[in-house]
Chains A and B, each alone.
Chain A
């Protein structure tokens, strides 16, 4: 609870300072003072403010990117006071007014990350240099998130990450200008460990297949620690090349290794293929090892992957950041708004992008200026509710959101074509909160020369 106390103290100080300023001078005046005094990257001058949405439009995550873009468009609509407002009415404490951001109409530009660092950075640079975007958001992989985040730090533009799950994004590679609403591999491990022990017993032997790059490694480490803390043994960890497609040569040794659980630290196409091959071809789910049913675990689950894996995803345990079927007012409002607009439920990638856009807009309203150091201050240690995840803290020390984590299971009997995952357990925020220092890294300065220089 110490975090909470600390938060309230800091929050109180900033709030009272802002209040003091607010009393001393009319709000409008303060804002003008800021924008005149401070020279910063892409200070919006006209009647509009431009946000840059950088999502994968080609490559393996193109569908996820398309869903992120839908969410961004919806968020812009709601910020401009159009449509039903989505989660704006449920979001608390909210400074959003439904008239754009600081009275400026919100416009947006889009770009293709191609899920490659170079392409993503080039696209983000275009948004900043040519389109004068004040904030960048989106993306569907940690490599891209880290690359764009450090670029945004250099340019002095705030980056609200999309889907990125590696511990590094808000750990080793964290930046002052980068903010992550999505959860991470560490939280997945902590949330999933006890559920696994409960469901499958404490005497288990795990075999890891891990995508051979940074995200995979952090995921493997986190899962290993979390399961070993429950008394499990790790028989072997095997690295697989990214995009291997066919995993049979990695799957064949599993059943003879003495392991009785297979943990697939894969994402996207790798996960769809390895899971399907393990279940439908190697028949692992129907095998018995050490007198126990053989089980498969996929620590990071998503709707699109469940769809891609088809029947193979049934009964598989994993974690998720959010699910459209959650029973809270904000989730319902968002699912309704998104569903009415696009005829389909939002994915967790869409949700996090929508939430990030609102959070940024709200922070600007709170700060009363687009000046990034002030916006960053408003976001740091911001405690909020009503964006679908329950009470959430944007921790200032590493710019990571702390909120409940969902343990989900691939649904055995889907009621409809979108009903692919069911929520098994909501792991409370306190359980998944960790000390910011464990991953190291350095946020860097808030005052940067950026692109204004």
Chain B
């Protein structure tokens, strides 16, 4: 029982990340009709916004270590700590949550620049060409990150107050259920972002047009609504969502330049399992696959079907797509030809 609850929790934070990436991806699919293979790279860029922010905060005074003579070895003390003492220390400690201040504007900028500079020329092009150009862009983006930050994973820590694990079992009268705090925060955070995106789409006129556009792009275009500008904003939002997902994920997974590619395939599977053109489907599929992946990793399950944890995501995708022609909540005619 404890083990099951723990695996559900595991699935929730993983699912949160999947859902956030898939949400942006499906938003771009649905409204712009673009297959964005650079979406994983946006997730990665978000993570590196946090890395850059943490590096900025920890610009350090370098005290040379005299015992090492033939190259520069030094002990680093961040200027923030020197200037502001304990306050500075806690600012450095809270680098990851604070980095969202950088991630949001940077990712918005990246998203808008990408849409205006490249993607908009591909609305009318074939999906194959969209794949090629966005895949090329993804490679270029990750090579640029590699040239600045290297290929090694970079450790970023959650604030001390939020790291470690909490005994949440005792809240509901169960023993032995303690789970990492930051992962629970990530889950709540992902729910918050998902809620915000849905609220935006449901409650604003802008969102209404976007939803209408997802339902029937041609008609909305005929109504004389300037879709171009709205497309830019939608792409910006998708980029920010992916960036936020990456940013907050850094304490869970040390980011390296390849992070985006690792998530790319998975997020496509999530989107398609959820059903093309369905935002709700993407979210549900994200959590579903996250939780199933956790269950498949249990030793009891692996004892019955060896290697199941290696393939569970794909197996579920196959089963769902065969049972439900358009995924969980997909709509007829979207990306079927």
Contacts and interface: CB of A to CB of B under 8 A. Distances in A.
Contact between A and B in the complex (any CB pair below 8 Å): yes
Interface of A: 58-63, 66, 212, 236, 238-241, 243, 245-246, 248-250, 252-253, 255-256, 269, 272-273, 276-277, 280-283, 286, 304, 307-312, 335-336, 339-340, 342-345, 414-419
B50 interface: no
A58 B76 CA distance: 30
Contacts of B68: 339, 416, 418
B294 interface: yes
A308 B72 contact: no
Contacts of A418: 68, 73
A273 B262 CA distance: 14
Nearest to A332: B70
Contacts of B297: 240, 249-250
Given A246-B14, A273-B253, A256 B2 contact: yes
Given A248-B13, A252-B6, A417 B164 contact: no
B164 A419 contact: no
Nearest to A242: B310
17 contacts: A238-B302, A239-B302, A240-B297, A249-B14, A249-B309, A256-B176, A281-B164, A281-B165, A283-B180, A308-B155, A310-B157, A336-B70, A343-B71, A345-B71, A416-B74, A416-B75, A419-B65
Which among A243, A336, A339 has the highest number of chain B CB atoms within 10 Å? A339
A272 B254 contact: yes
Contacts of B152: 63, 304, 307-308
B262 A282 contact: no
A342 B70 CA distance: 10
B154 interface: yes
A272 B155 contact: yes
Contacts of B146: 62
Contact of B75 (A241, A343, A415): A415
B326 interface: no
A443 B253 CA distance: 42
A417 B76 contact: yes
B102 interface: no
Contacts of B298: 249, 253
B183 A281 contact: yes
Contacts of B195: none
Interface string B68-102: 11111111100000000000000000000000000
B299 A241 contact: no
A309 B2 CA distance: 29
A248 B10 contact: yes
Contacts of A339: 68, 70-71
Which among B150, B153, B254 has the highest number of chain A CB atoms within 10 Å? B153
A286 B164 contact: yes
B252 interface: yes
Given A62-B151, A340-B70, 5 more contacts: A59-B258, A246-B252, A249-B309, A253-B299, A415-B67
The 7 A-B residue pairs whose C-beta atoms are closest, nearest first, are A310-B155, A62-B151, A339-B71, A281-B180, A416-B73, A416-B65, A249-B297
A273 B254 CA distance: 6
A60 B298 CA distance: 27
B29 interface: no
Interface residues of B, number: 53
A344 B302 CA distance: 45
Contacts of A66: 151
B34 interface: no
B20 interface: no
B180 A212 contact: no
Contacts of B153: 269, 272-273, 308
Contact of B157 (A245, A253, A280, A335): A280
Nearest to B6: A252
Interface string B291-318: 0011001110010000001100000000
Interface in B142-188: 146, 150-155, 157-158, 163-165, 176, 178-180, 182-183
A309 B251 CA distance: 11
Contacts, number: 142
A248 B12 CA distance: 11
Nearest to A307: B152
A281 B252 contact: yes
A63 B257 CA distance: 11
A19 to B, nearest CB: 40
Contacts of B14: 246, 248-249
A47 B164 CA distance: 62
Contacts of A286: 164
B3 interface: yes
B70 A309 contact: no
Contacts of B74: 416-417
A249 B293 contact: yes
Contact of A246 (B6, B73, B253): B253
Nearest to B293: A249
B7 interface: yes
A59 B151 contact: yes
A248 B253 CA distance: 10
Given A256-B3, A280-B163, A281-B164, A60 B10 contact: no
Which among B7, B11, B14, B297 has the highest number of chain A CB atoms within 10 Å? B297
A228 to B, nearest CB: 20
A277 B252 contact: yes
A141 to B, nearest CB: 14
Nearest to B306: A239
A30 to B, nearest CB: 41
Contacts of B2: 256
Contact of A245 (B72, B151, B262): B262
Given A243-B262, A249-B7, A335 B180 contact: no
B299 A238 contact: yes
Contacts of A308: 152-155, 254
A314 to B, nearest CB: 12
Interface string B272-298: 000000000000000000000110011
Nearest to A281: B180
A62 B258 CA distance: 11
Contacts of A212: 310
Contacts of A250: 297
A71 to B, nearest CB: 15
B256 interface: yes
Nearest to A252: B6
B183 to A, nearest CB: 7
Nearest to B166: A283
Interface in B210-263: 251-254, 256, 258, 262
A269 B151 CA distance: 10
A419 B74 CA distance: 9
Contacts of B7: 249, 252
B180 A311 contact: no
Nearest to B158: A280
